[in-house]
Amino acid sequence: MILALLAALPGAAATPLELTYEQALEQASRRNPAMLGAQADVNAADGAVLAARAPFEPTLTANTSYFSSTSEGTAEFGNFFADTSGWRAGAGLTQAFATGTTVGVDFSSSQNKFFYRLPDTGLEFTGDPQYQSTLAFTLSQALLEGHRLAWNLSGIRTAKGARSAAEAARQTARQDTLANTASAYWNVRTQMALVAIAEQTLSVSAEQHRVVLALVEGGRLAPVEATRAEAAKVQAERSLIEAQSAHAAAQDALLLLLGETPGRDVVVLSVPEEPTALALDADAVVEQVRQGNPQLLAAHIQLDTRRAALVSARHGLLPALGATGSYALRGYESDLSGSFAELARGELPEWSIGAQLTMPLYNRADRGSLRQTSADVTSAEIDLVSLEGSLVQQARAQVRTLDAAARYVELAALNLRLAEETLAAERARFDEGRALQKDVIAAIKELDAARVESERARAAWQEALVALRRLEGRL
């Protein structure tokens, strides 16, 4: 109860969420909606694989019944009525194999009682109960269509292919989720740094405005300089508001990826890698993309699945020819145990052997299926080549982007140092009376822009690194 009351307090829900980079990625992998949906697809595919194995499970059947019937007939002694009643019970076991073989064994027993009535003479006659027991074995074997393992296991193979595709899709969703989370995480840090820069700029602008007002009041500067300083202060306030808004939006974006409710402050605890020129080998990166990219893996799985389906489609052109055989032993006596004994002695054997041929005269269904499957293979081959080419191009472009981003960071750092030196020089010249206040304000703006540009350059390098690892499937 106390915890519930505390949770209901106005400030309770505003507790900041503190996360390291690793914790953010781990939480996103567990709670991100896209990840949860992809895992659900994998679970469904597991169920489909299990269901696909059902045709090769042994099947047990059992039955029992009681029956009664009345019939009428005519004989040399006149009309008669026959009442027949009794029971039947049986059990059987059937097993299908991937070789196209089906084996079955059935055992059954029944009892029949007969009661005859002759209405013309008033005679009634009750016959002795008759018991029949049967033990039967059956065997069937596909000789043309259906004799290959690949054909009979096509349902399982298709289900496994769908499961592999679902797993590849889950890996793709994982890479996408982790990449988006990584980008959002570092974006929160970047926006937080931009807020700090904007706050510092506002503090400097406010101090500069105060100094200029004092100089204007002392008659050392023209009133227009106060207006310029105030305009710079207003612009700094506006920039701070924009930076704070962007920071809040970045936090909400990260919270959604983490499976959290937006509106909560996020504190990022990790420090990103220091931007450096990595001197990457483009060919090695391309090879890593070929080996690890989950989209490419999914395309290979699809092609393999369709090629296997093409083999089955060619097999499906064959006519269906099956051989069947059966052997049964029966017992027929006036008592149940006697029928069992006669069955065991094998005195009443029964057997049969035969074959059945089924062949559509035009076979349009199988021929159409072969054409469709062949076209599917061609389409999958084209998609694979296209995707691989696209990923190779993206990988090489990302290597160049990462190298350029590293140089951009160096240039931004140099520009920041020059802006700091310029501001120091302008302030010194202003103190000596050799520069105007507007020159100092311009130098402050240039320094602020250089600070922002430096942060954005570091963020762009981090974003390029995440994108490259996403392509490689290494997040």
Which alpha helices (H) appear in 145-274, and where do they start and end?
149-152, 154-217, 223-257
- Which pLDDT score is estimated for 77? 66
Of the pLDDT bands very low, low, confident and very high (cuts 50, 70, 90), residue 232 is: confident
Domain segments of the chain: what residues?
A: 16-49+157-193+266-309+369-472, 65-96+101-145+321-358
Cα(394)–Cα(387) distance, integer angstroms: 10
Q: Which of 234, 259, 219, 237 is nearest to 33 (CA)?
A: 259
User: Residues 128-139: pLDDT tens digits?
Assistant: 789 999 999 999
**Average pLDDT of span 425-433:** 80
Query: pLDDT at residue 250 above 80?
Result: yes
Cα(267)–Cα(20) distance, integer angstroms: 9
Of the pLDDT bands very low, low, confident and very high (cuts 50, 70, 90), residue 12 is: very low
Cα(187)–Cα(133) distance, integer angstroms: 81
Q: 468 or 75: whose pLDDT is higher?
A: 468
Q: Which of 201, 198, 202, 179 is nearest to 246 (CA)?
A: 198
- Which pLDDT score is estimated for 429? 82
Rounded to two decimals, what is the model's pTM?
A: 0.75
SS3 assignment, position 71: strand
Least confident of 8-22, 46-60, 205-219, 290-304: 8-22
Query: pLDDT at residue 120 above 80?
Result: no
Of the pLDDT bands very low, low, confident and very high (cuts 50, 70, 90), residue 369 is: very high
CATH classification code of 16-49+157-193+266-309+369-472: 1.20.1600.10
**What string of DSSP letters covers 346-405?**
T-EEEEEEEEEEE--SS-HHHHHHHHHHHHHHHHHHHHHHHHHHHHHHHHHHHHHHHHHH
Q: 277 or 148: whose pLDDT is higher?
A: 148
- Which pLDDT score is estimated for 201? 85
